[in-house]
Amino acid sequence: MNNFEFQNPTKIVFGKGSIARLSDLLYKGEKIMMTYGGGSIKKNGVYDQVKKALEGFSVIEFGGIEPNPDFDTLMKAVEVCRKESVGVLLAVGGGSVIDGTKFIAAAVDFQGDPWNLLVKRAEPGEVLPIATVLTMPATGSEMNGNAVISRRATKEKRDMGHPKYFPMFSILDPEVVYSIPKRQKANGLIDAFIHVCEQYLTDDVDAQIQDRWSEGVMKTIVNIAPEVIKDNPTYDACANYMWSATCALNNFINPGVNQDWSTHMIGHELTALCGLDHGVTLAIVLPGTIRVLDKFKRKKLEMFCENVWNLPDGKGDAAADFAIQKTERFFNSLGVKTRLSDYGIGEDVITEIVRRFRERGAVLGEHGIVTPEVAEQILRNRL
């Protein structure tokens, strides 16, 4: 096991009816900016629940944060925060709203161009406190210090991370899952599943708790997915889905292990260039990553076959075959296709992605084994 540091200060308030708890958790003295997305919270009742809980608080609103939150949109919110002396940010939404709100929180006090918080991983100054009401389980952003921000003007999608970006608390009411469309639930399940893969399908460092816990999250996701994507899923399926997605990326499964994240980095480019849903990009790329990096990941692929898919025969060369077959079938069972050609994407996009990685000097994956050339192999495998 590698040496590690771990700290996750976010408080979680989980369960049905927990949105009403907002009034105990926020301070009345601070001006709150409530951020949200395209308005689905006004249809599913979450907006009303939040507003009711915050009666008597000083609240301004900033709606319209788009999926893959856009730098230019967020900078408008930053201006409002500065003008209105906002003291706390309350993100009501999924990963895009929460990520965007983390960026707003960091940018308000930042000296210089806030885009450097992403591309240069610049050290933030004072970061506004953030709280969240999660409406879409997927990214884990409600309990970590990371965010991914897009810039449509330049077709870029970049990430940032810092201990100051952890929410002070997050409210997770699984009943919000009832109204999520099937496509989004499928994306969320895949996103969470692949978050675990990026922290587990690496080289083996004999970190047994972390391995068993990663397998536990993946088994749970596979087990609950058929119920979750139904029109009227049970409460417990929704609760297990919501907690799985949080635990897939709250650092509980990754202390002391090597991580990969090349599938995500390549996927971000597919979203930036072609507009594909995040979960879809991951479902496309992961099988290629497994295939091309098979030898590096061999021991973990064997564990994956045996402990997640109950396939003790998945040993040696068969491990990658079985792993790819099972994961692709799982993604397909959720209605998600897993080839670039399924989305009309061809060689020109691969060429542009490889050009960008070369330009940035990107070395991805555990131990930097995913050079631009390896990324090209991964993408060609998915044509």
Question: Which residue do the tokens 């292990």 mark?
Answer: 257
**How far is it, in rounded angstroms, from Cα 300 to Cα 214?**
11
What is the closest distance, in whole angstroms, from the C-beta atom of residue 223 to its own copies in the complex?
Answer: 7
CB of 381 to its own copies, least distance (A): 31
Among positions 49, 240, 281, 327, the unique one binding its own copies when judged by CB under 8 A = 240
Least Å from the CB of residue 383 to its own copies: 36
- DSSP-assigned letter for residue 111: -
Which residue lies nearer to its own copies by CB, 30 or 252? 252
| Under rule CB under 8 A, residue 14 binds its own copies | yes
Q: 17 or 361: whose CB is closer to its own copies?
A: 17
Nearer to its own copies, 32 or 228 (CB): 228
Side chain identity, residue 170: S
Q: Is 49 in the site for its own copies (CB under 8 A)?
A: no
77, 90, 92, 152, 169 from 283: Cα distances, Å: 32, 31, 27, 23, 30
Indicate the helix (H) or strand (E) that contains 158. strand 156-161
Of 213, 296, 322, 330, the residue at the interface with its own copies (CB under 8 A) is 213
- Burial letters for 311-342: b for 16+ Cβ neighbours within 10 Å, e otherwise? beebeeeebbbbbbebbbebbeebebebebee
Residue 348's alpha-carbon distances to 2, 170, 352, 363, in angstroms, are 40, 41, 6, 21
For residue 162 the two structure tokens come to 């810092």
Give me 169's structure tokens.
């608390």
Site for its own copies in 157-196 (CB under 8 A): 174
- What is the three-class DSSP state of 62? strand
Stretch that binds its own copies, among 58-66, 78-86, 241-249, 365-373 (CB under 8 A): 241-249
Q: Return the structure tokens found at 164.
A: 């100051």
- Contacts with 265 (C-beta within 8 Å, 6 or more apart), sequence order: 362, 364, 370
Residue 256, phi then psi, degrees to nearest 5: 75, 10
Q: Does 60 bind its own copies (CB under 8 A)?
A: no
Q: Quick check: helix, strand or coil at residue 132?
A: strand
Provide the minimum distance between the beta carbon of 339 and its own copies in the complex, in angstroms, as a whole number.
31
Which window, 104-112, 177-185, 232-240, 361-369, contacts its own copies (CB under 8 A)? 232-240
Residue 111 in contact with its own copies, rule: CB under 8 A: no
The correct pick among 224, 228, 292, 324 for binding its own copies (CB under 8 A) is: 224
Pick the binder of its own copies from 51, 61, 116, 252 (CB under 8 A): 252
Which distant-in-sequence residues (6+ apart) come within 8 Å of 111 by Cβ? 125
CB-nearer residue toward its own copies: 1 or 383: 1
Contact 81, 104 (CB under 8 A): yes
Instruction: Considering the complex, state which of residue 138 and residue 292 has its C-beta at the smaller distance from its own copies.
Output: 138
- Smallest distance, its own copies to C-beta of residue 22, A: 14
CB of 267 to its own copies, least distance (A): 24
Name the β-bridge partners of 33. 60, 89
Site string for its own copies, 123-162 (x = CB under 8 A): ----------------------------------------
Q: Which of 255, 258, 318, 377 binds its own copies (CB under 8 A)?
A: 255
> Which of 80, 94, 67, 81 lies closest to 150, judged by CA?
67
Question: Of 227 and 321, which has the nearer Cβ to its own copies?
Answer: 227
The tokens of 51 are what? 């507003």
Cβ proximity to its own copies, 9 vs 368, nearer residue: 9
- Quick one: which of 224, 147, 146, 144 has its CA closest to 188? 224
CB 45 within 8 A of CB 134: no
Stretch that binds its own copies, among 38-46, 50-58, 212-220, 319-327 (CB under 8 A): 212-220
Is residue 13 within the footprint of its own copies (CB under 8 A)? yes
Rule CB under 8 A: which residues touch its own copies? Answer: 1-18, 174, 206-209, 211-213, 215-217, 219-220, 223-224, 236, 239-240, 243-244, 247, 252, 255-256
